[in-house]
Structure 1
Amino acid sequence: MTEAGTAPPGRSEGIDPHLRNLAIVVVLGAIMTVLDSTIVNVAITSLGKDFGTSLSTIQWVVTGYTLALSMAIPMTAWSIRRFGSRTMWLVSLGLFISGSLLCGLAWSVPALIAFRVLQGLGGGMLMPVGQTMLVREAGPDRMGRVMSIISVPAMLAPVLGPLLGGVIVDNLSWRWMFFVNIPLCAVALLSAVRMLPRDTERSAGARLDVTGMLLLSPGLAALVYALSAAGNGESLAGGRFLAAAIAGGALIVAFVVHAFRKGDDALIDLRRLGTRAFTAATGGFFLYSAAVFSLMILVPLFAGLVRGESALDAGWLLAPMGLGAMATMAVSGRMADRFGGRWLVVGGVLCVLAGSIVLTTLSPATGRWTIMGAMFVVGLGHGMIAPCLMAMAYQGIPREAVPAATTGANILIRVGSSFGTAVTAVALQIGIRDEIPGASGSLDEAAAHRTADTPALLANAFTGTFWWSAAILLVSLLPILAVPRKPRRTQLTSP
């Protein structure tokens, strides 16, 4: 056994060629799958017109993909144990490429939705499988730097997705939103075949926890659906929201009870994930994901509804966030490996909070440079937070529990982002009703019925909602401060 503080023979403390090749394969495969979560959003109206169907129906192109992602993630830990990480990476990437091709060829809305589900089933496992491979190879001494690498696709998605989607919708057929995935993913597939080592850590006798799967996957999908419904304007007292939220919550609670009883044979062995570091870091990441996703939703909406800008122009407002994150991400990962990441994360949260407070002062006359500057500051903070929090979550986690830890963390981040979307939508609806007498809070209504005062009134609703994002950021500091100050030297052992 090799202790966490000692690099195994042949493994340098830096990013050696083998780890670099593995990182390239993971980033190539993950980047388009993560981008696809946002790239389609800007084309919903165009898709509805082309297929001659309602917005509520075409919205399932996004919802179906999201639900498939959510249902696939819980299967990651077992599938890696049973078939190996390399095999599951190739299978998942193959499903995603097949789904992308079929989506581009779709002849009807039901066909497009079905193919999006196939795409989501492949995409849902790619990020956690890739993360598992990198964590196992890196060991604890290089965890921060590796998490900086794996954060790149997640960072680029909300920034480049709207831009790329806007360019395609404005200049090409919507089908190219799916065809564009194929060349890059094909390169990723060929690179994986050549560069990934053969699976050695797998167990042919690993049994699928069918009961756990039937509890967690539908439960997570129901909860994400409820949050998506709230994000799309569904009333919190509405039947669909309540039914989905109650069913999802009940199934997840039942899974937790089941998992603790079943132990090692559970779909996700929760008993191994009860460390202070994992609980606090993933709890902080859940809240932080909710806050930062709300910012990335609100800024383009503000540009479109208040300033009347195009989807492409609105998307450009997010671009500085990516630049800011790239400026701090590599450095923060290296510093986290050397000194521990807790205070880096706290500083990052305060940085994001500073950018958020600038956004609470927006008005229709606010210059683009002010918004872009605020998002650059948010990006600087994000680059300090994401890799450090992910690295800290693995403190004290044994090597054999890495797939379960990665699966659990990805589930919480997925639910956290959906939670942030729902909170943002509800807060914005309440703000619109308060600011515009007689309004229902609907964004479509606010956009359609405009007067000379409407932009200023809508701006007030948005700034109030930005304060909600700031409040969630502040609350995220509580679990973050509970993360152990320095990594233990006995974590993540290797055979």
Structure 2
Amino acid sequence: MTSAPETSAPPPAPGSPDKLDRDVLLVAGVVVVGAIMSILDITVVSVALRTFEDVFDATTAQVAWTMTAYTLALASVIPLTGWASDRFGTKRLYLTAVVLFTVGSVLCAVATSLEMLVAFRVVQGFGGGMLVPLGMTILTRAAGPDRIGRVMAVMGIPMLLGPIAGPILGGALIDNASWHWIFLINLPIGLVALVYAWKVLPADAPTPSESFDWLGMVLLSPGLALFLYGVSSIPETGTVWAAKVLLPALIGAVLIAAFVPWALNRRNEHPLVDLRLFANRTLTFAVIGMTLFAIAFFGASLLFPQYYQGVRGESAMMAGLLLAPQGVGAMLTMPLAGVLSDRIGPGKIVMAGVATITVGLGLYATLDDTTSYWFLGLALFVQGLGMGATMMPIMSAALQTLREHTIARGSTLMNIIQQVAASIGTAIFSVLLTNGVKNDIGATDPVGDLAGVFSGVFWVGTVMVALVLIPAYFLPRKKAEQSVDPTVLVGH
């Protein structure tokens, strides 16, 4: 078959191969601002759910839709990002995503009913879903393959710090202003991001000759949305066998399964998500590693603030502050991990990072209802050191092997995997915690029993993180070569 003509490889990124030059740093600033808006918004809203119950006179299940609607919109639009960035250009699409997210934020702030708020969260999600994969594509193209580890370290800042800063910011805004400000704060940030991106991002040449995969969109986008809706309903129902879980999840899984042979069909030259990238061995192991890591990391992240609030009686804002050591640890290792990934390959870095997280989470799993905050802070700090050397090096391992035409498709694929895995992890850990509370809480020492439930679930997370060592072992343990498998270059 004849593949689409390939654009010529970009010239080597200017500046020293060991440093990120001024132009790349300016582009990185644009991307980080956009990613902060998208990722921070998820955790900021999470602390407002109880407020939404009071304001809109709604149940916990009803206000949960403010989170679920955003997640589903996010998952639905991510598959379109790879094609759209090729078709319209990354700069134009990025500006559109910022506008959508900002407008959606303002609409959320002026919502007068829960139904309106949920609908406007969908608008926000459509914009937010494009910001992170687009940011990865833009940064990777700007820096070149030799410096992907460094730019992924920059990209990891909002990804790792969002879950920590979100509860602090959200709690402060709700306590000192009103719930409207958790959305209104995105207006000035969005305007800055829009002007910044307009000035800094280089114009790129779109490739409008590529046809759109309509069948792929009909299969994959609704499939992901339905599957994640079912999975997201597990904590509410407490079981995977409820019709609300099983029916949408099964329909979604069937649609996703039907997409696979269509995406691999030789007649489909431009699939919505290019599964032919799995011909790349490194990308395959990176995807497996990212899946296991995201399930364990995002699942466990749900438990940390709940322990401080449910067992130790802390406020949402204080719980966020107590998680700060994790962010400090990540900030210390992330830049170093990025440099080392480029110099010696990501494999050794990821294995060291995973081993460190396992130790930190294992320490955390020994907690009870009186464990010293100093000990818990140390455990979180150790976890942070490992996280800074894990998530983004896994991303860079996959993207280092891609070139101009397939970068957008590769970053789209990795973000879909991360989104699905994060939703699965959240559901798994929520159910483990809920079932533990139902079965193991006695009347004699309910607080102590609750701490024991958290400890048991954290041990599950420790084992799941340790499993990431298996795919990490197969990641490159030396500097990436410049030659790449031709099947990866053309994606066919």
Determine the C-alpha separation between the residues in 2 that align with 1:280 and 1:74: 21
Deviations 1:190-245 (A, max 9, x none): 01111111122x11222221110111111111121122112344421111111122
Deviations 1:324-382 (A, max 9, x none): 00000001100111111111111101111111111111111112222111111110000
- Tell me if the contact between 1:277 and 1:394 (Cα under 8 Å) persists in the aligned partners: no
Equivalent residue, structure 1, for 2:449: 457
Determine the C-alpha separation between the residues in 1 that align with 2:352 and 2:13: 36
Determine the C-alpha separation between the residues in 2 that align with 1:25 and 1:145: 16
Deviation at 1:134, TM superposition (A): 0.7
Normalising by structure 1, we get a TM-score of 0.93
Matching of residues 312-461 of structure 1 within 5 Å: 312-436=317-441, 451=443, 453-461=445-453
Which region of structure 1 is more displaced relative to structure 2, 309-318 or 32-41? Answer: 309-318
Equivalent residue, structure 1, for 2:209: 205
Helix, strand or coil for the counterpart of 2:388? helix
Matching of residues 259-278 of structure 1 within 5 Å: 259-261=263-265, 262-278=267-283
Equivalent residue, structure 2, for 1:445: none
* 1:231 has 2:252 as partner: no
Q: Which runs of 5+ in 2 are unaligned?
A: 1-5
Equivalent residue, structure 1, for 2:481: 488
Determine the C-alpha separation between the residues in 2 that align with 1:18 and 1:9: 10
Determine the C-alpha separation between the residues in 1 that align with 2:254 and 2:462: 30
Deviations 1:78-101 (A, max 9, x none): 101110000000000000000001
* 1:87 has 2:80 as partner: no
Change (3 A) 1:493 1:135: farther
Equivalent residue, structure 1, for 2:150: 145
Deviation at 1:7, TM superposition (A): 6.8
Letter matched to residue 280 of structure 2: T
Deviations 1:3-55 (A, max 9, x none): 99x97274541211111111011111221111001110111010110111222
- Tell me if the contact between 2:33 and 2:193 (Cα under 8 Å) persists in the aligned partners: yes
Letter matched to residue 318 of structure 1: L
Helix, strand or coil for the counterpart of 2:481? coil
CA-based RMSD of the aligned residues comes to: 1.9
Deviations 1:107-142 (A, max 9, x none): 111111111000000000011011101111211110
- Tell me if the contact between 1:151 and 1:386 (Cα under 8 Å) persists in the aligned partners: yes
Determine the C-alpha separation between the residues in 2 that align with 1:210 and 1:220: 15
Helix, strand or coil for the counterpart of 2:166? helix
Helix, strand or coil for the counterpart of 1:384? coil
Deviation at 1:493, TM superposition (A): 7.6
Letter matched to residue 18 of structure 1: D
- Tell me if the contact between 1:352 and 1:377 (Cα under 8 Å) persists in the aligned partners: yes
- Tell me if the contact between 1:263 and 1:270 (Cα under 8 Å) persists in the aligned partners: no
Deviation at 1:428, TM superposition (A): 1.4
Helix, strand or coil for the counterpart of 2:467? helix
Helix, strand or coil for the counterpart of 2:111? coil
Equivalent residue, structure 2, for 1:222: 226
- Tell me if the contact between 2:238 and 2:435 (Cα under 8 Å) persists in the aligned partners: no
Q: 2:83 aligns with which of 78, 81, 95?
A: 78
Which region of structure 1 is more displaced relative to structure 2, 79-88 or 9-18? Answer: 9-18
Helix, strand or coil for the counterpart of 2:47? helix
Q: 1:38 aligns with which of 35, 43, 51?
A: 43
Change (3 A) 1:56 1:16: same
Determine the C-alpha separation between the residues in 2 that align with 1:365 and 1:45: 27
Determine the C-alpha separation between the residues in 1 that align with 2:31 and 2:405: 20
* 1:468 has 2:472 as partner: no
Determine the C-alpha separation between the residues in 1 that align with 2:286 and 2:399: 9
Helix, strand or coil for the counterpart of 1:265? coil
- Tell me if the contact between 1:356 and 1:469 (Cα under 8 Å) persists in the aligned partners: yes
Equivalent residue, structure 2, for 1:17: 22
Equivalent residue, structure 2, for 1:447: none
Letter matched to residue 123 of structure 1: G
Letter matched to residue 254 of structure 2: A
- Tell me if the contact between 1:97 and 1:182 (Cα under 8 Å) persists in the aligned partners: yes
Determine the C-alpha separation between the residues in 2 that align with 1:82 and 1:11: 30
Determine the C-alpha separation between the residues in 1 that align with 2:323 and 2:363: 15
Letter matched to residue 468 of structure 1: V
Change (3 A) 1:362 1:216: same
- Tell me if the contact between 2:323 and 2:380 (Cα under 8 Å) persists in the aligned partners: yes
Deviations 1:240-285 (A, max 9, x none): 1111221121111111111001443211121133211111012101
Equivalent residue, structure 2, for 1:292: 297
Matching of residues 171-182 of structure 1 within 5 Å: 171-182=176-187
Change (3 A) 1:278 1:263: farther
Which region of structure 1 is more displaced relative to structure 2, 185-194 or 202-211? Answer: 202-211
Matching of residues 133-172 of structure 1 within 5 Å: 133-172=138-177
Helix, strand or coil for the counterpart of 2:389? helix
- Tell me if the contact between 1:2 and 1:8 (Cα under 8 Å) persists in the aligned partners: no
Equivalent residue, structure 1, for 2:3: none
Determine the C-alpha separation between the residues in 2 that align with 1:391 and 1:349: 16
Deviations 1:443-486 (A, max 9, x none): xxxxxxxx551011111111110111011112221111122333
- Tell me if the contact between 1:29 and 1:189 (Cα under 8 Å) persists in the aligned partners: no
- Tell me if the contact between 1:80 and 1:88 (Cα under 8 Å) persists in the aligned partners: yes
Determine the C-alpha separation between the residues in 1 that align with 2:290 and 2:393: 10
Determine the C-alpha separation between the residues in 1 that align with 2:311 and 2:277: 48
Equivalent residue, structure 1, for 2:192: 187
Normalising by structure 2, we get a TM-score of 0.94
Q: Which runs of 5+ in 1 are unaligned?
A: 438-450
Deviation at 1:398, TM superposition (A): 3.3
- Tell me if the contact between 2:325 and 2:384 (Cα under 8 Å) persists in the aligned partners: yes
Change (3 A) 1:9 1:300: closer
Q: 1:117 aligns with which of 118, 122, 135?
A: 122
Letter matched to residue 470 of structure 1: T
Equivalent residue, structure 2, for 1:8: 12
